[in-house]
Amino acid sequence: MYPRNHASLMGQGAFIFGCAGLTLTDAERAFFQDTDPWGFILFARNVETPDQVRRLTSELRDAVGRDAPVLIDQEGGRVQRLRAPEWREWLPPLDQIVRAGPKAMELRYRLIAHELRDIGIDTNCAPMADIAFPQTHEFLKNRCYGGEVKTVVSAARAVADGLLAGGVLPVLKHIPGHGRATLDSHLELPRVETDAETLHQTDFAAFKVLSDLPIAMTAHIVYSAFDPDLPATTSSIMMSLIRDQIGFDGLIMSDDISMQALSGSIADRSAASIAAGCDIILHCNGDMTEMEQVAQAAGEMDDLASDRANRALSHRKTPEKIDIAALEAEFETLLNGRADG
């Protein structure tokens, strides 16, 4: 464990930050020490070799003087930051779940967890509980686990179990459901016009069953049946729905606050998200000017957010030793058996 630094004695920052490159700059190190972000997130720009990532994750934790969570998106398919030849390549989840079923997904993410923990990463932005519909935008569709609540929940639970068994915290996304969006929220704001009853029976239902998971990430989507003006991330109506009707009482982090689905300045977006009910702001691109705005606008976690953050971290366990070769063999057997059958 890392000793507490001066910043953490005053309260951890209500934000997760990225960094620009393969190592920390002096400016980044000083900034992180001063602002004390709750955690960090890595992208392909931060990844070269296992040894380099180990050094970087150590640098990040050293900067804040504690065992801060380090996140990554390692879903498989298009969204995986760790790539061959240093790490395994994975099919898109929708392709593999159709072939192999939930048990294979549990093994797949147990193997992913092993790779992540080996290089100092202890939080993965998965599972997805978004339901795939015919109209689901292509940026999301094959990242989903199926088109029915039961299938999605079964696969998502298996993913979370595999990650937790490997000592990696799962991040459930994108609450309360991104599947009906026909636009890419990285570029523009999607609107979902579906009626409230249908949403509760489908999209929201998947997240309700999985509401015991420790962390969830919001959807930058307007659900017009509830709030016709604001996306869930900045809507107090939707955040209350997530807490009171879906029943999610874990740590809620925004999706990337820089995504173009949101309007206003980075500071305005951050402040609005916290005011709506997000516990933590996610900022991904490593831009120092933007991170300064996030830190100023989001401030420190309040007592309730800190409690949720501590409860989330309590799920982070030391994994038991496993036989990787045996796990890989079992995984391949499941894949081949389902494909042959």
Question: If you compute the radius of gyration of the chain from its CA atoms, what whole number of angstroms results?
Answer: 19
Task: Mark whether 255 is an active-site residue.
Answer: yes
Taken in order 126, 127, 130, 131, the sign of the CA dihedral is positive
* 171: its two tokens: 């991040």
**For residue 2, how far is the Cα from the chain centroid?**
24
Task: Mark whether 200 is an active-site residue.
Answer: no
- Of the residues 6, 95, 186, 249, which is catalytic? 186
* 154: its two tokens: 């079964």
Strands 215-218 and 74-76: unpaired
Strands 280-283 and 13-17: parallel
- Of the residues 255, 256, 279, 283, which is catalytic? 255
Contact between 7 and 37 (Cβ < 8 Å): no
Place of tokens 């969830």: 216
Place of tokens 């000592």: 167
Residue 247: CA count within 13 A, CB half-sphere: 10
Strands 79-80 and 74-76: antiparallel
Q: How far apart are CA 206 and CA 80, in angstroms?
A: 24
Give me the active site residues, please.
Answer: 186, 255
